[in-house]
Amino acid sequence: MKRFLYTLCLLLIVATSATAYTPSENAKFSILTASSGKEVYKVYGHSAIRFQDKSKHKDIVYNYGLFSFDAPHFILNYLRGYNYYLLGRQHFSRFYREYSEGGEKVYEQTLNLTQEETKQLFDALEKNARPENREYLYNVFYDNCATRVYHIVDKGIDGGIVWNKEHPEVTFRDMLHQYNHIMPFSQMGIDLVFSIKADKETTFEEQLFLPENVRQAFDKAIKYNGEPLVSNETILLEGRKIHNNRELIIFNLTLLMLLLFAIWIRFRKQKFIRAYRVILYLILGLSSLIVCFIAFFSIHPTVLPNINLIWINPLWLFFAGSVIFKKQPQIVFQKALNIWSIIIALFLVLGISGVFYLHYGFYYLLPIIVLLSYRRINKA
């Protein structure tokens, strides 16, 4: 009971002090932008807001990028698009240590705000950080750590901000490729599940899902009174080289070896072709279940219509079963497989010719499928 009362009193004291606090005239806000990290969830960089009030011994980072891998059904919810992030406060020293150890480069842009504007932004962030408000439904393009930083600053200044909305003509996929090309296996999977909607030209606001784009937008922004929004920019951490071409080399060599192996089996070792077919069709069929699940049961806005469903779909499980239970496929089955192979070959030609986007990894994979699937009927 005593412990409960002590905890309750402590919480009341903290709550009272938080509501009673007013930023001093020396308090300031700054935008923190981290470069690409080595983890998949850090590859696109990160945005956060730093608040400093040295006279009150405050140095806080408001971080919209917090989540937990231990959350129930994390992977399933991630695939469905129901992954929740939250705004958390952390001491700047902790933030600095994390990115110093990770090797990312970190920029800091000090905002040119009056004392009243600083208080407005502080109150907005504190309100956002309350337990009932801090959680939000994350979306990679429309609601993430970068877009949240942009919107709360944009709305937090009464006079308004004039944004320079000149922007390059790029798509969502173009912008993702600027970063995830260093992780080709991940890039190939992302390109597989994203639909043609990811290839539409984006607006200024849509491009702000990337932290680096937010940094550049703040750098060019002007306040209502004509003053620049950012008073100065410094580099907090120089960072170090954390990415190399090792994964890219492994990716290309793996696909090339698989293609050469398929050619060798197709023309030299026909006795192994049945086993290779089974393995290939099972992998394609099981993978297609994930692609279909994301396409039809998730709320991600850029996964339908997915043109890749033409060639990667659960029909491969039927083909795998037909090969497993019958040593020599029936004529009808092989005719169907031949038609399917022709469709895939045409799909590959259209992709290479630029009719729609096709990840270059499929330039290896689709020929493998055709090589192992198309056979003359009298040899099937």
What pLDDT does residue 329 have? Answer: 60
pLDDT at 269 over 90: no
pLDDT at 352 over 50: yes
Q: Is the Cβ–Cβ distance between 331 and 380 less than 8 Å?
A: yes
Phi, psi of 45 (to 5 degrees): 90, -170
What pLDDT does residue 9 have? Answer: 42
pLDDT by residue (tens digit) across 49-86?
999 999 999 999 999 999 877 777 777 888 888 989 99
Closest CA to 315 of 288, 293, 342, 334: 288
What pLDDT does residue 17 have? Answer: 44
Q: How far is CA 351 from the centre of its chain?
A: 24
Range of lowest pLDDT (159-163, 200-204, 217-221, 331-335)? 331-335
Prior bond to 305 cis, omega within 30?
yes
DSSP string, 270-297: GGGHHHHHHHHHHHHHHHHHHHHHHHHH
Q: What is the mean pLDDT of residues 257-268?
A: 94
CA dihedral 371, 372, 376, 377 (to 10 degrees): -150
The three-class DSSP label of residue 35 is: coil
With a CB cutoff of 8 Å and minimum separation 6, the contacts of 66 are 85, 86, 87, 88
Cβ count near 201 (within 10 Å) = 12
Residues listed for the chain: 380
What pLDDT does residue 33 have? Answer: 98
Q: Which ranges in 69-210 belong to alpha helices (H)?
A: 74-80, 92-102, 115-128, 145-156, 172-180, 184-193
What pLDDT does residue 75 have? Answer: 77
pLDDT by residue (tens digit) across 88-129?
999 999 999 999 999 999 999 999 999 999 999 999 999 999
pLDDT by residue (tens digit) across 170-193?
999 999 999 999 999 999 999 999
Q: What is the mean pLDDT of residues 311-324?
A: 92
